[in-house]
Structure 1
Amino acid sequence: MSFETANRDTALPWSTRTSNIAHFLSRNARRLGDRPAIIWGDDRWTWRELDARVSSLAIAMREDFGIRHGDRVLVQSPNNNQIIEIMLACFRLGAVWVPSNFRQGADEVAYLAQKAGTAMMFCEHGFPGHAAACRAALPDMVGVVAIGNANFGPSYEALIAKNLGKDMPNADVDRDAPCWLFFTSGSTGRPKAVVLTHGQLTFTIVNHLNDLMPASTPEDVSLVVAPLSHGAGMHQLTQLAAGAVSVLLPAGRFDPAVAWELVARHKVTNLFTVPTIVKMLVEHPSVDEHDHTSLRYVIYAGAPMYREDQKFALRKLGKVLVQYFGLGEVTGAITVLPRHDHHLEDGPQARVGTCGIERTGIQISIQDDDGKHLPPLASGEICVTGPAVCAGYYQDEEANGKAFRDGWFRTGDLGHMDAEGYLYITGRASDMYISGGSNVYPREVEELLLAHPALKEVAVLGIPHPKWGETGLAVCVAEEGQELDEMSLLATLHGRLAKYKLPTHFVFLSDMPKTGYGKITKKLIREELTARGLMPVLEGTS
């Protein structure tokens, strides 16, 4: 995958030209100029001010650093107004935004910089080691700009001030022009750089507005909970298109009480996060201390939400939950389970375990190992096609060869669809294990275990077994003030699972290892257990 389409000096063919995503900002500045675009603590920026700052930054990037169409621009920063401005300045220039997970180490971010072929970098003041590591990895990088008070590069705010008042038109872009390198979480190895384009993201923005947050308007208010470098960045673009204001959480550790206070103060109407954060929000006492009746959409994605957690959230918040299933490679847009399909009571209508139906404009196929399309209720790999699918992985033809087959993107997730088109995810292909010749899907076991009232979180892994090939290891975290034991957990499963599916080993932790985005991944749990000497090694295995 190259950036040739983004480096054309000739006029774009009429058939492939598309609107630059930064045009949403231009439109808002004209129509909603004095309305707030971003609120962060006591600071707020109107749409007109945001547009002016983005133009000023884009001019500095072009004139001071020589950034042009297709150049990659790395950002190492937690959520703030600057990361949004940099994203939009990249789009305005026709450059490519490359956000890192700010919780990654310096060497990890240096790898991203090398993989992307970064031309310049923006780095928040708290990460001088990251700036140094990226400079060492890419000595030809034209510069590092410091966000905040730091001496490792020119001042971000000085660059903004230098060109305020100057206009910068949005670059002409091709529908397939890259604008965002979205790095995967690397759950099965080194992160891969997913190429997202102006045309693809424009489709996904419209899709999000239609399927996740219908009837969104400039009256809406979004609380930014998750890191903007990944799924929340896509959610941010949706707010941009709607003209809705975004409220940023204070810097530092996530505090549910602060989040609920902001919901009440700003009459927040939507937020996007992962199931573990929804669980934290609704189980915290502050949920009952602040008015949250303004909420219309609480959108969760990135991992399954267990049924018991789903029901608790519905009792606390009402019918505001919206689930979507997707990957970075499909910019999140595979399925949606809308508000009206979230039911508090179990039964046929609840369709327990589903992640919803195909998103508008998206088609799903359940396929076997040879690419054969399987009928309803048959299990196989979830494959998808449609305008939300990425252009491929940057400079990784091996990964592209594995991920695409006959025009279908292979998600690596296993599942089935029912006769009405509702999708059920069994788990990652890499999570499934085989015990005594039979497939075991951890999600099924985890769902049942969570019916235990003292169990807060659980992850089931397959580990080597001398007789059965593999067996189940349940990694468990108890609710605060509660105690767990192996026998009571097994009693929860008694009569509800075949014997070969029952975990034979249990490990109890005080906290479940999670990624920087709050997701539970089996890879990270294995690494943590191994590092702490907690991974069982059964006699006769190695």
Structure 2
Amino acid sequence: MSIDLSGGNAPVSTRVMNLSHFLTESARRLGDATGFVWGERTWSWAEMEARAAAFARALREEYGVRKGDRVLVQSANCNQMFESMFACWRIGAIWVPANYRQSAEEVAWLAQSSRACGLICGGAFAGHAEACAPHVEFTVSIGESGFGEDFDALVARHAGQPLAPVAVDRDDPAWFFFTSGTTGRPKAAVLTHGQMAFVVTNHLCDLMPDTGPDDASVVVAPLSHGAGIHQLAQVAHGVKTVLPAGEKFDPVEIWSLVERWKVSNLFTVPTIVKLLVEHPSVDVHDRSSLRYMIYAGAPMYRADQVRALDKLGPVLVQYFGLGEVTGNITVLPPTHHHADDRHMRIGTCGFARTGMQVQVQDAEGRDLPPGETGEIAVIGPAVFAGYFDNPEANAKSFRDGWFLTGDLGHMDEQGFLYLTGRQSDMYISGGSNVYPREIEEKILEHPDISEVAVLGVPDPKWGEVGVAVCVARADAEPDADALLSWLDGRVARYKMPRFVVFWSEMPKSAYGKITKKMIRAELEARGHLPAPVE
């Protein structure tokens, strides 16, 4: 039975809070308290709010930016980048941050495909500004540059001029979140004001409960993607954001900031957790304030998980969630992390986030029983509005209201989800499906192996066979044949990699993730792809 609430007139309002209000509210409550830290500089909540409002007025009055317009951002982490997010939302514009490590040509394609009206560009990226110029109407520079008007000069010119946020509806776009582009060009996932308000609430509920103004959060990833979502949740609860002074990831600096600012939470990926935990500086600085080390982007290998728990204690929080669902699919809180295998659901990425529903489905969309592998699908308020100007991708990614993640996995009887890998990572050897993650977990049990990635390559006899790319631990010199002999008996014969190569380090994305796409490209570039065995 449906209930008509309209009274036969106009539909009930779908208006929601403008996301810029998160900053306004924290500035109202906390005023002169420190809200943002970058190196030795600090900004109060009131200063951040005033700067964001001034830049919003500059965008509207000097460049004519209006509700629904897209503003592309090409910048390393800085206070201006963060302020631009709230400024865009204040006038109803859509924030379109790029992965700043992309080439000038790649970012120019983002400008064109998003139909951006303007570009906010770090002074170090003159080539990017030049490449984007034919596709945008204006450019604003951050820091010293030879292009565009300076961000801070615009802020100063419009300081002290009040500007109320525009009204927005639940489905009004706020952020174009570009996928990492594991296959083909990146796609712009449309994140909306209503969806993002749910995401922020969910992050605070499921990932870091009891987080508030006495806390601090250090940023160890680009604000253009997951870290930006995480820091928005900090703003919502008046938590100060701490940016490292250097652009390059430095464990010594991160741990010193944890001690100095009494950091209580951070968001990162498993490879960065591994680097932080294994660096000697972890034992030099006081980290007793750290309550939540949140990791996502990929499951953490069990050996790394145990090492982190032994070193840091019960602070690990895992979540699984693509950019399209803004991280909101599953959560594994500290109470479900255990160094003792007897008490740990090894391999799980947790259970469904509050307000979300998760299924493992077969190719026809049927919900599979516990233990059976299929594609992970999700519905709920955190699911994005679809890909911008990409009906083909939308048709492929949604089925009967469910968003299809492209990830494979299975559930247990209690609803805990276990990832097997991406559909694109699975390969078929001799007619049998091979899921690389299972093999990678086993190889990492070898005492001489620090990192590993297994992927399938063509083979005339078996269809595909596995190649294991390994990084050895310091001072270890493992042998490929010896490693395969050690692995024999630990996995089924058809799952055994046919070849092993050793590299000094793995190629990683701008977010610290190890991706099979990058590894395959590096194998080809180095000439390490094996010749087929007849």
TM-score for both structures, normalised by structure 2:
0.97
Is the Cα contact below 8 Å between 1:72 and 1:119 reproduced in 2?
yes
* Kept in 2: contact 1:57–1:163 (CA 8 A): yes
The separation in 2 between residues aligned to 1:539 and 1:489, in whole angstroms, is 20
Q: Verify the 8 A CA contact 2:77 2:247 in the aligned structure 1.
A: no
The 2-side partners of 1:525 and 1:212 are apart by 31
Return the alpha-carbon distance in structure 2 between the equivalents of residues 539 and 493 of structure 1.
20
Query: Does residue 49 of structure 1 match 2:47?
Result: yes
Which amino acid in 1 is paired with 2:309?
L
Give the aligned residue type for 1:387: P
Measure the CA separation in 2 of the matches of 1:80 and 1:530.
Answer: 36
CA–CA distance in structure 1, aligned partners of residues 183 and 508 of structure 2: 15
Query: Conserved in 2, the CA contact under 8 Å of 1:457 and 1:476?
Result: yes
Aligned length: 525
Of 469, 475, 495, 1:501 maps to 495
Q: Which residue of 1 aligns with 2:481?
A: 487
Letter of the 1:328 partner, please give it.
G
Which amino acid in structure 1 is aligned with residue 403 of structure 2? F
Q: Which residue of 1 aligns with 2:67?
A: 69
Q: Identity of aligned pairs, percent?
A: 60
Q: Give the C-alpha shift of residue 514 in structure 1.
A: 1.1
In 1, the alpha carbon distance for the partners of 2:446 and 2:370 equals: 32
Shift of 1:187: 0.5
Aligned counterpart in structure 2 of residue 305 of structure 1, from 300, 325, 329: 300
Which of residues 204, 223, 230 in structure 1 aligns to 2:225? 230
The equivalent of 1:126 in structure 2 is 124
Q: Aligned partners of 2:493 and 2:501: how far apart in 1?
A: 19
Distance across 2 between alignment mates of 1:145 and 1:512: 36
Please give the per-residue CA displacement for 1:40-99, whole angstroms capped at 9, x wherever unaligned. Answer: 111111110000000100000000000000100000001110110000101111100000
Pick aligned residue for 1:283 from 278, 282, 302: 278
Deviation of the 1:476 alpha carbon:
0.6
| Mapped partners of 1:442, 1:133: distance in 2 | 39
State the Cα deviation string for residues 454-479 of structure 1 (Å, max 9, x = none). Answer: 11110001011121111110011111
Alignment of 1:122-521 (within 5 A): 122-136=120-134, 138=135, 141-347=136-342, 349-521=343-515
Query: What amino acid is the match of 2:261?
Result: H
SS of 1:508 mapped into structure 2: strand
**C-alpha distance in 2 between matches for 1:167 and 1:86:** 16
**Aligned-pair distance for 1:303?**
1.2
Q: Which moved more, 1:205-214 or 1:529-538?
A: 529-538
Q: Deviations over 1:130-163 (max 9, x none)?
A: 0000013x1xx22111100112111111001001
Structure 1 residue 116 and structure 2 residue 114: aligned?
yes
* Secondary structure of 1:511 counterpart: coil
Residue in structure 1 matched with residue 85 of structure 2 by the alignment: 87
CA displacement at 1:14 relative to structure 2:
4.6
Q: 2: distance between equivalents of 1:493 and 1:243? A: 50
In structure 2, give the amino acid aligned to 1:118: A
Q: Which residue of 2 aligns with 1:26?
A: 24
Structure 1's unaligned 5+ residue stretches are: 1-11
| Structure 1 residue ranges (4+ consecutive) displaced by more than 4 angstroms after TM superposition | none
Amino acid at match of 2:184: G
In structure 2, what is the Cα distance between the partners aligned to 1:238 and 1:126? 29
Distance 1:187 1:489 in 2: 29
Q: Unaligned regions of 5+ residues in structure 2, if any?
A: 1-9
Provide the C-alpha distance between the structure 2 equivalents of 1:212 and 1:466, rounded to a whole number of angstroms. Answer: 47
Q: Cα offset for 1:13? A: 6.2
Alpha-carbon distance in 2 for matches of 1:492, 1:165: 69
Aligned partners of 2:450, 2:350: CA distance in 1, in Å?
25
Separation (CA, whole Å) in 2 of partners of 1:109 and 1:353: 36
